[in-house]
Structure 1
Amino acid sequence: MALSIEIRHGYVYLIEARTGKMSVGIQKTHYFEYPDDWVSESGIVNVEGFASLLMQHLKEQNMRDKKAYFCINNNAVIYRELNIPKVEEKKVHLLVKTEMMSALNLTPDYIMDYIYLNDVEIEGNVQSRVLGVAMQIKAIESLLEVAKLCKLDVQGIDSATNSIIKMMEENPLLENTNQLIVADIGNGHLRLYLFENGIYALSRNNKIISYKEVTPEEVTNSIVDNINKMIQFSYTRKSGSDSKKIVITGIDEELEAVQKFVSENLLVDCEVLGKPHYVTDHKFENRYTNAVGALLRK
């Protein structure tokens, strides 16, 4: 058994599940809201308050497992796509760190990691295409302090982008669509991911109107407008074509309206992310997509 904890803007999503290398047997799910100012780009600001609230909800839901996987889905994570020379695996991390610090002017108080994407040929030379990921050390330390206060044993810390990549790698839609756009709908934020010929290409983080501020129709319009911008951008890519599909996930209550609007007005195939074949024992809810992805082990 393991616990997956996704920290979004203003919300925490929890899953307790039995896990295998590529299987997630969901036992319990739950989510709760926390004050926006408790978490910033520097991590969890109110560590004691956040830990106390998390412990309260874990206790109320009788989620007792202590092995915890965290998924960070907010502005604390910085991404950068890099093309680097083919080198020994043990040298890749140092190369990524150097490139990230140079490209983004990051200071040594950042921890950097990477996700291998694929090999590319540039001017006759084969290079590795990777997604560099960076977080401030104090952001990770604040997360570990929360885990300590909650008596959780941290097994891993993942990013939302890597969770989505792992989820989609197992989705047959990648094999049948030249360009696939995944829209992850949150409250006040929308993440858009573009996959080309089955490979992750790029992502965009968009701030949208919050459900607390306007009508559901206005929120839907804001979401669809941003999806349309990604569609138009995809046509400018080298692989841009009419073979496109939109897959939406996130807040379940919003998905049907967005799916209908995109299909009828943007004239692009659009569907709600279905229950993955490796998820068992529980009704699948799209709001827990990233938390499920964080539990997948390659």
Structure 2
Amino acid sequence: MSLAIEIKNNEIILVDAKVNKSKVQVRTALSFEFSEGLINQNGIVDTDNFALILSQQLSQFDKKEKSCNVCINNSSIIYREIFVPKVDEKRLPFLVRSEMMSALHLTPDYLMDYIPLEEVVKEGNRMYRVLAVAILESAIASYISAFKKANLKINTLDTATNAIIKLVDTFGISEVEHQFIVADVQKGQLKLYLFDEGVYVLARNTRLSSSLLEDTESAVEEVVESISKMNQYTFTRNDKGIQQIIYVGMDEILGDVKERVEQILNIPGKILSESVKKEGLTDFENKHVNAIGVLLRK
């Protein structure tokens, strides 16, 4: 069994799953919220309190394992799509770091990593398109400290975007020849991941002004509007538009969102949990996808 923990700005998702090659069987899962302000761009503000909250929730798991895989999905992570010259792979980390520091005016105390996306040609030059991520070194230290206080060792640290990319690759969602969106519909925000012929293109994050639970109608309208804007954007890239949407997130609302998008925008879609069972992903809720993605290996 493997333990995955997704950390949002005010929510934690715990997933205990059995992972075998490309098959994932969720054994136990739970989620809980905590007060706003406990996490910010500097990481975990109060590591003692965070460790206490985490330990209390972990007590519900019948597990002796003391290691975990963590998905950071909050404001302490910075994403940036960049293009760097095609060079020897050993030089790529330096180029990515230099480009990130220059583009975002980051200080040297940021740690950086990147996900290679594709090789392209720009103005006659061969380039790599990469998704770069940055996080303060002190933020990483705060996560390690908090988990250590909760008697947990972090095996891997990952991001939500990379978790989605791995999920799409592992379960055959990327094996298409059209543009599609993975729409992560959460209680207070919407994240849209655009893929073109299976290759990740970009992500857009929108904070919803209406609550999906308290004012469902208004929130659904906001989601539809955001998807419409993303669809319009795709025509600036090519003439294909969005041909399918994969929905993840809050199960309570996904059916309503899917139906409304199909009615208004005429874009077909499917809810992830209903379409991947035969691919080896079972017994999970759609809000668990980032935690599950962390457990996958490319």
TM-score range, shorter chain: over 0.9
CA contact 1:30–1:61 (8 Å) conserved in 2: no
Answer whether contact 1:275 1:284 (CA < 8 A) is retained: no
The verdict on how the C-alpha distance between 1:157 and 1:276 changes in structure 2, with shifts beyond 3 A counting, is farther
Secondary structure of residue in 2 paired with 1:107: coil
Shift of 1:146: 1.2
Matched with 2:9 is: 9
- Give % identity: 40
Distance change >3 Å, CA 84–CA 267, structure 1 → 2: same
Deviation string 1:176-235 (CA, Å, 9 cap, x unpaired) is 342111111112111111111211111111111353884111221122221111111112
Q: Is the 8 A contact 1:43 1:140 kept in 2?
A: yes
Partner of 2:259: 260
**DSSP 3-state at the match of 1:111:** strand
* Number of the residue aligned with 1:125: 125
Contact 1:252 1:286 in 2 (8 A): yes
1:234 matched residue in structure 2: 234
1:275 & 1:167 partners in 2: Cα distance? 10
The 5 Å alignment of 1:285-296 reads: 285-296=285-296
For residues 26 and 115 of structure 2, what CA distance do their matches in structure 1 show?
26
Superposed, 1:9-158 pairs within 5 Å as 9-158=9-158
The corresponding residue for 1:269 is 268
User: Cα deviations across residues 11-48 of structure 1 (Å, max 9, x unaligned)?
Assistant: 11111122244332321111111111111121111211
- Cα-to-partner distance string for 1:211-270 (whole Å, 9 max, x where unaligned): 388411122112222111111111221x23146111110111110010110011111112
Deviation at 1:10, TM superposition (A): 1.5
Stretches of structure 2 lacking an aligned partner (at least 5 in a row): none
The separation in 1 between residues aligned to 2:194 and 2:44, in whole angstroms, is 29
SS in 1 for 2:146: helix
CA distance in structure 2 between the partners assigned to 1:231 and 1:154 by the alignment: 38
TM-score (norm 1): 0.93
Please, what TM-score do these two structures have when normalized by structure 2? 0.93
Distance 2:248 2:283 in 1: 15
SS of residue matched to 1:37? coil
Secondary structure of the equivalent of 2:175? helix
Task: Tell me the distance in 2 between the aligned counterparts of 1:23 and 1:104.
Answer: 39
One-letter code aligned to 1:211? S
> Residue type matched to 1:202 in 2?
L
- Contact 2:27–2:283, Cα closer than 8 Å, also in 1: no
